């Protein structure tokens, strides 16, 4: 009887170990799936089927996966709940503005060493982000304390951007570069332009407010 009990205990322990080993690969696959490129517009997943007309309104939002370019044309996106206006996981490197655009929060997750671009063809191409918790955030993902490459940067050129947010206005950890653009960012609680390693202004660009 003692021998059988000992055998049963060993068998149970072995079964538990085998179960854990079987689960671990599934956990790894799940983590990988969560980091795959994905793009949501106001909670709507962008797919190859809807990429040319994400909102089904004639093409105000278009996405080119080959160039990672998202184009907004006179779009007015009202977000509800916790949905961001634009939420990208390694899917968007260029946000192109055409006309006057209004939307909610923008969150772009990128690899270390990459640079995002928000641009238009001139000051009449505009982006308004108001009545939100956060404005625009550029994040490195997955986060790595030992990363040897710089955090993702952001270039803004040839457009007008106005942000009025409750918490943060324009946030990132890399280099923020502004060329031939008008940028106004207000974050009432945690700061307006937050966390950037450096700010580079193009020729004839200057900070008008706050003074100095």
137-183 pLDDT, tens digit each:
999 999 888 889 999 999 999 999 999 999 999 999 999 999 999 99
118-128 pLDDT, tens digit each:
999 999 999 99
82-127 pLDDT, tens digit each:
667 999 999 999 999 999 999 999 999 999 999 999 999 999 999 9
pTM of the complete model: 0.81
88 φ, ψ (degrees, to nearest 5): -120, 135
Residue 171 in tokens: 């946030």
Cis omega before residue 5 (within 30°)?
Answer: no
pLDDT of 67 higher than 90: yes
Q: Nearest CA to 127 among 61, 209, 183, 58?
A: 183
Cis omega before residue 210 (within 30°)?
Answer: yes
Indicate the SS3 state at residue 9.
Answer: helix
| Rounded CA separation 88/74 (Å) | 20
Contacts of 31 (CB under 8 A, 6+ apart): none
């Amino acid at each position: 009887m003692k021998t059988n009990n000992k055998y049963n205990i060993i068998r149970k322990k072995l079964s538990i170990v085998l179960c854990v080993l079987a689960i671990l690969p599934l956990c790894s696959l799940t983590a990988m799936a969560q980091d795959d490129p994905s793009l949501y517009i106001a909670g709507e997943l962008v797919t190859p089927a809807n990429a040319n007309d994400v909102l089904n309104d004639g093409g105000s939002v278009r996405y080119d996966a080959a160039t990672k370019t998202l184009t907004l044309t006179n779009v007015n996106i009202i977000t509800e709940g916790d949905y961001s206006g634009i939420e990208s996981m390694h899917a968007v490197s260029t946000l192109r503005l055409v006309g006057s655009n209004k939307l909610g929060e923008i969150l772009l997750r990128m690899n270390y060493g990459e640079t995002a671009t928000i641009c238009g063809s001139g000051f009449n191409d505009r982006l308004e982000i108001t009545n939100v918790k956060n404005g625009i955030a550029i994040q490195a993902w997955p986060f790595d304390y030992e990363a040897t490459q710089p955090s993702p940067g952001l270039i803004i050129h040839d457009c007008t951007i106005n942000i009025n947010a409750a918490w943060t206005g324009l946030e990132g950890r890399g280099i923020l570069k502004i060329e031939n653009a008008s940028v106004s960012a207000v974050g009432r609680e945690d700061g307006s332009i937050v966390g950037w390693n450096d700010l580079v202004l193009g020729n004839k660009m200057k900070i008008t407010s706050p003074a100095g």
